[in-house]
Structure 1
């Protein structure tokens, strides 16, 4: 494996990135306590898992449908401004849910509407993440900056369940939403102070902007073939999350095995993010995708009900690879795409990754009912291995290295078009 250590100035020395990092950290902590609080709140109010599914779908559907439009808006109207408005919208929606829950007689309709509005805001916020880092940090420090973002997100995921449990036990789920609302308000206030490099974008119609962004994606075989691998990986992760708990409980020693597996994954993600801040691979996409292929191991091991310690270690190693890939992937994308299309490219990335997960959630129980749980787990493992390791056959993946300091050029002229 070819690698070298990157020696760069800490991006936290830059005031704008420091403010951005602080805002994202606060927001991540707030978000980490919400999933458990939301599940408990809806189940307490309705006693129905179907109601919980409706609430989750209300957020997911607009998020998926509007992601490409969110990328166009973030490229055209300044990523910082779009992120700030999205934070304010989510501040209001989380506050509305918190107040509703604290009132003692929550309305499911209110929670569903708030979830839909929050999902819509997320569709516009998610594509801004990469342009904000690229616009506040010099190229040499971007991998470390993306690693720092990964570290704060993964630390929040690791601590989130414990924080949520303590908060819900002490004050109830309503206060989790109030705290998340306050975190979005603080994040918006910090974003107002951030200064992001201006990137002029030619004026086009929305359709032309979508087509231009897709053209940039299609022109890079290393990108779109990796996206297919990442989508398969996320779909397989949904299969594991759906079927894994039952296998762990029934055949691997009980609930404690599943909890330990999840904790091993969270620790692995954090470890991978820490490594990404220190180690730079010469062929980053090739080696990162090969690392992602390691996710086949826990899937196949669960399928054959291998000993619990072996499954747990395999899952931790696979999630370490994911924790390393995410910041490296962000950095490569920031280096190889023109800044004026970065939000659109990011939106297509998220669309493929997130869109595969509902498919996995839907197909896994159907396949398990028809063929037994081991079959879909084994198939998912083989698909991950083929899709992620298979990118090594793509010339662009094999050849891609870190670019020179010159800015990436668009694949078509940036003339005005309407």
Structure 2
């Protein structure tokens, strides 16, 4: 089996995604500080974040249709240019004398729309550049790169913010998108042309592929529950750490342990060859209930930090395994649409967690929503073991979905990752 990085197309894709992921890892801290400097208001920061999230949720299904219809490479290239221009605009706005919140919020909305079209292209790009057994290793490499940028991104963000100002973090992110777009112009990506039909028919076909596979839609429900639980943890965890566990340093160590865990899990996924990959990965996700419960009872900080690192290692393992199985089992012509529904369900659960966590804490205590989230995560993830399709996938190795002859996009012979929350980014799930 050839190593994926020996394939020129994947190598260029990998470099581009890694550069843009590093740029994205710098932005969250820069955005928070920039908005607070401009307005002094946490409500303003919530507005800017909402301007990015809401359009993303609204346009994700359409993004999947467009990626399947018009070639994932071209869609990714276009959205890289749009997002790069938006980030450069914000950077220049912040470097100016009088930055305006309205301009920053509008640019965030543009970025959110572009992300909705970009995110469904990630899986087709890997599937279109790497074949067969090498795909899991390729997906694991993508996961390793994403995890590594999360380790280095905050440090780079701090260096830029305190030496040159937050505007330069956005300039860097814009430049990383430009580099990714340039690399995409130099690759070929196999694609399966689809019959042109109405938008409604295309959306319906993608949904049919999702609901016709019990292993897929039940796993999506479990992954959505995981993301909802992660939103509860990231909302209440900092306050618990500061008030009961010893201060901000405990929370920072938790996030660093999570980043290390993601990296180690991704590395393990590149080597693992499991008979029941989805079953093992979903059951592993249930370990996220452990740090939720330990936070609820204010357990000793070292126990919480270690448990969080192990839980995120399970996520790091799941992401490449999941992507590989989906790329194998789903019809190539519907892969982007299926992926868009995946993202939609995963992201939609997070605002619910953000909203309910502080409400539950105010009505009762932080312990109640944390324990409730732990129970939901454990039941949803462990419950997938009762689904026949989850137990069957990979045992024996299931045949790839019917795969029509693919055609290469006519490009010169001479190939970025979904943005994510620092705790639950991507797929993370």
Shorter-chain TM range is over 0.9
For residues 237-252 of structure 1, the aligned pairs below 5 Å read: 237-252=230-245
For residues 28-39 of structure 1, the aligned pairs below 5 Å read: 28-39=21-32
Measured after TM superposition, the shift of residue 403 of structure 1 is 6.8
Summarize the Cα distance change of 1:180–1:379 in structure 2 as closer, same or farther, 3 Å threshold: same
CA distance in 2, matches of 1:81, 1:381: 41
CA distance in 2, matches of 1:78, 1:187: 17
CA distance in 2, matches of 1:17, 1:393: 37
TM-score under structure 2 length normalisation: 0.93
The aligned counterpart of 1:272 is 265
Measured after TM superposition, the shift of residue 158 of structure 1 is 1.2
CA distance in 2, matches of 1:244, 1:300: 11
The aligned counterpart of 1:51 is 44
The aligned counterpart of 2:145 is 152
Match of 1:98 among 91, 96, 103: 91
Answer yes or no: is the 8 Å Cα contact 1:336–1:403 preserved in 2: no
- Alignment of 1:367 onto 2:360: yes
Answer yes or no: is the 8 Å Cα contact 1:332–1:402 preserved in 2: no
- Alignment of 1:337 onto 2:330: yes
The aligned counterpart of 1:109 is 102
Q: Which range moves more in the overlay, 217-226 or 301-310?
A: 301-310
Measured after TM superposition, the shift of residue 409 of structure 1 is 2.7
Listed one character per residue, the Cα deviations across residues 225-249 of structure 1 (whole Å, up to 9, x for unaligned) are 0000000000000000011111111
CA distance in 2, matches of 1:231, 1:409: 28
CA distance in 1, matches of 2:397, 2:317: 22
CA distance in 1, matches of 2:281, 2:65: 28
Answer yes or no: is the 8 Å Cα contact 1:67–1:347 preserved in 2: yes
CA distance in 2, matches of 1:257, 1:98: 31
Secondary structure in 2 matching 1:123: helix
Give the length in aligned residue pairs: 403
CA distance in 2, matches of 1:118, 1:130: 20
Listed one character per residue, the Cα deviations across residues 172-219 of structure 1 (whole Å, up to 9, x for unaligned) are 011111111111011000001110013111111110000000000011
Measured after TM superposition, the shift of residue 332 of structure 1 is 0.4
Measured after TM superposition, the shift of residue 405 of structure 1 is 8.4
Secondary structure in 2 matching 1:285: helix
Secondary structure in 2 matching 1:193: coil
The aligned counterpart of 1:64 is 57
Match of 2:75 among 82, 86, 89: 82
Answer yes or no: is the 8 Å Cα contact 1:71–1:124 preserved in 2: yes
The aligned counterpart of 1:11 is 4
Listed one character per residue, the Cα deviations across residues 307-349 of structure 1 (whole Å, up to 9, x for unaligned) are 1111111111100000000010000000000100000010000
The aligned counterpart of 1:354 is 347
CA distance in 1, matches of 2:388, 2:191: 34
Secondary structure in 1 matching 2:191: coil
Q: Which runs of 5+ in 2 are unaligned?
A: 404-429
CA distance in 2, matches of 1:315, 1:268: 8
CA distance in 1, matches of 2:396, 2:123: 18
- Alignment of 1:180 onto 2:150: no
The aligned counterpart of 1:377 is 370
Listed one character per residue, the Cα deviations across residues 120-154 of structure 1 (whole Å, up to 9, x for unaligned) are 00000000000000000012100000001001111
CA distance in 2, matches of 1:261, 1:406: 40
Once superposed, which parts of structure 1, at least 4 consecutive aligned residues long, lie more than 6 Å away?
none
The aligned counterpart of 1:284 is 277
- Alignment of 1:136 onto 2:146: no
Measured after TM superposition, the shift of residue 281 of structure 1 is 1.4
Summarize the Cα distance change of 1:403–1:337 in structure 2 as closer, same or farther, 3 Å threshold: farther
Match of 2:318 among 325, 335, 339: 325
Measured after TM superposition, the shift of residue 407 of structure 1 is 3.8
Listed one character per residue, the Cα deviations across residues 78-125 of structure 1 (whole Å, up to 9, x for unaligned) are 000000000000011011111111112101111011000000000000
- Alignment of 1:234 onto 2:227: yes
CA distance in 1, matches of 2:328, 2:352: 31
TM-score under structure 1 length normalisation: 0.95
The aligned counterpart of 1:202 is 195
Secondary structure in 2 matching 1:279: coil
Answer yes or no: is the 8 Å Cα contact 1:293–1:384 preserved in 2: yes
CA distance in 2, matches of 1:157, 1:319: 13
